[in-house]
Amino acid sequence: MSCEEIAVCAVRLRENLCLYFEELECDAFCKDKTIKRFFRNVNSQLLVVRPDLNVAAFEDVTDQEVKSGSGMYFDIHCYKTTAPSAGLPVAFSVQVEDKSYYMCCEKEHGKMVVRFREGEVPKDIPGESNIIFFKKTFTSCSSKAFKFEYSLEQGMFLAFEEEDSLRKLILKKLPREDEVDETTKFVTSHNERHNL
> How sure is the predictor about 158, in pLDDT bands with cuts at 50, 70 and 90?
very high
Look up the pTM and report it.
0.80
Instruction: Report the Cα 131 to chain-centroid distance in Å.
Output: 7
Where do the structural domains in the chain lie, given as residue ranges?
28-189
Tell me which architecture the domain covering 28-189 has in CATH.
Answer: Trefoil (2.80)
Q: What angle do CA 51, 161, 144 make, to 5 degrees?
A: 90
Position 14 scores a pLDDT of: 57
Say yes or no to pLDDT of 12 above 60: no
- What b/e readout covers 38-51, taking b as 16+ CB neighbours within 10 angstroms? bbbbeeebbbbbeb
> How sure is the predictor about 7, in pLDDT bands with cuts at 50, 70 and 90?
very low
Position 121 scores a pLDDT of: 94
The better pLDDT of the pair 162, 2 is held by: 162
Q: Are 119 and 100 in contact (CB under 8 A)?
A: yes
pLDDT in tens, 107-157: 999 999 999 999 999 999 988 899 999 999 988 777 789 999 999 999 999
